[in-house]
Amino acid sequence: MPVASIVFWGSALLTPAWSALGLLLARAARQVPILRGELDRGPAPAGGSTGRDASPEGGSPLPGLSIVVTARDEAQGIESTVRRLLAQRYPRLEIIVVDDRSTDATGPILDRLLAGSGATRLTVVHNRELPPGWLGKCHACRLGADRAGGSWILFLDGDVELCEDDLLERVLRLAEGRGLDHLAIIPDQRPVSALQQALLAAFAQVFLLAGRVFEMDRDRPRGGVGIGAFNLIRRSAYDRIGGHVLLKMDPADDYKLGRLLKESGARQRLFDGVGMIRCPWHKGALNVARGLEKNLFAGLDYSIVELLVCSLLALFLAFGPLLLGMTAMLATRSATVISILAWVPFALQLAALGHDLRIMTRRQGGSVSGLLLLYPAAALLLVGAAWNSALKTLMRGGIRWRETFYPLAELRAGRVRAGAGRRLRVL
């Protein structure tokens, strides 16, 4: 094929693709404000609002809040997590920690904390059995939610640390003041290496686009996201989707929980908890890739065809602009119209990624230029992690999560597809 044809068709595909991606990523970034700034601003959204978004008076009574913490073999961090929760200055607070079949010192640590707390706010549930047809974490969430008496439920992982003692009070006032049903917060995962930060940026782009975060403020019953480190849900909205019953065999339960809520008509918002909520995900980029082993293939509905299509598309978008420009440059060896046209997609890609990474580095530190240089490696690593997830799942005939094996046939039967929450929508 002549170089002119390659440049023409490559530019025809990549120019609108990166133009659209740049706009969507920029809008998605605006939909994820920094939590601290929003709390300082107060419950009412910028620009003012009326109706459901009206701010309640600062002295109005806070609703009852139940925190459900699921923990399996979390001896290293569970004590810090629970102590920070017990220190919260929230008047109507109950903390329910579900010890899900732990084999380390998690159980004894929780019993000691329970004895020291006087059992006024803390409840510990020692679960020793997993019923058929349930993933361990999903069952633990259900056990905790069944005991929750608050009009709001906050689902937390066992290694999350709240950095300020009045954080829950301020977050609940924000949620109530804006008339929300679901508030999810991306935790601060620092410190991370440069490559890990680049990988997290690439993963965040996929996460935000897949969840249609760019249109979250329109409150449409589609898309939606959830975060295992901080999923705050109005009890009535949680009950409307049947709690965790639909999610009982889905490894991406936290993300799918947010999607079900959004599809059912819940008002959802996503915030960046940098400096306020800490949760170390994994140490090192390779460990992040391994940590995605259980749920990346699940996110693609366990479909090799879907994985192949998504992989080719990701590689084309990530490397196509540079390859197109290099092809034209090597073929023409001069600044012709063709060679200039060939570099347009690459310029758009740099502009889109640069804007996205500048926002990230303003919040978490790091170098924009360094992350741009590492972006190709991060893209390859993310695609590789998806294939690793698929191959390991297919070779094993299922996944191993929290020391329990779940057969692939049961996982496929229990996956929650996009749109499943619309039939639960309040009309």
- Rounded CA-CA distance 20/26 in Å is 10
Quote the tokens at residue 213: 């975060």
Quote the tokens at residue 154: 């906050």
> Alpha carbon of 32 to those of 25, 186, 216, 321, 359: distances in Å?
11, 9, 9, 28, 11
Q: Are strands 268-272 and 182-186 parallel, antiparallel or unpaired?
A: parallel
Is domain 31-193+210-282 given the CATH code 1.10.3720.10 in the classification?
Answer: no
Among candidate residues 242, 273, 276, 269, the one with its CA nearest the CA of residue 257: 242
CA angle 233, 234, 239 (to 5 degrees): 95
Phi, psi of 177 (to 5 degrees): -65, -30
- Rounded CA-CA distance 164/176 in Å is 20
Domain positions in the chain are 31-193+210-282
DSSP class of 34 = B
pLDDT at 59: 62
pLDDT at 413: 94
pLDDT at 43: 61
Torsion angle of the four alpha carbons 49, 59, 145, 294, in this order, in degrees rounded to the nearest 10: 50
pLDDT at 334: 58
Complete DSSP assignment for 59-98 = TSPPPPEEEEEEESS-TTTHHHHHHHHHT---TTEEEEEE
Q: Which amino acid is at 108?
A: P
Number of H helices, E strands in the chain: 16, 11
Residue 421: exposure state from Cβ atoms within 10 A (0-12, 13-18, ≥19)? buried
Residue 397: exposure state from Cβ atoms within 10 A (0-12, 13-18, ≥19)? exposed
The alpha carbon of 242 is separated from its chain's Cα centroid by a whole number of angstroms, namely: 21
Contact indicator for 260, 421 with CB cutoff of 8 Å: yes
pLDDT at 49: 42
On the CB side of 5, CA atoms within 13 Å amount to: 2
DSSP class of 54 = P
Q: Are strands 182-186 and 231-234 parallel, antiparallel or unpaired?
A: antiparallel
Contact indicator for 338, 328 with CB cutoff of 8 Å: yes
> Alpha carbon of 1 to those of 7, 181, 332: distances in Å?
10, 55, 15
The pTM assigned to this predicted structure is 0.92
Assign 248 to helix, strand or coil. coil
H helix intervals, 118-193: 136-147, 167-177
Q: Are strands 398-401 and 122-127 parallel, antiparallel or unpaired?
A: unpaired
pLDDT mean by block of 10 residues, the chain; 427 residues: 80 95 96 95 52 48 96 94 95 96 96 85 95 96 97 96 95 96 96 92 95 96 96 97 96 96 97 94 83 91 96 96 89 70 94 95 93 96 96 95 92 93 78
Beta bridge partners of 18: none
Contact indicator for 146, 225 with CB cutoff of 8 Å: no
CA angle 154, 284, 101 (to 5 degrees): 45
pLDDT at 426: 62
Quote the tokens at residue 358: 């500048």
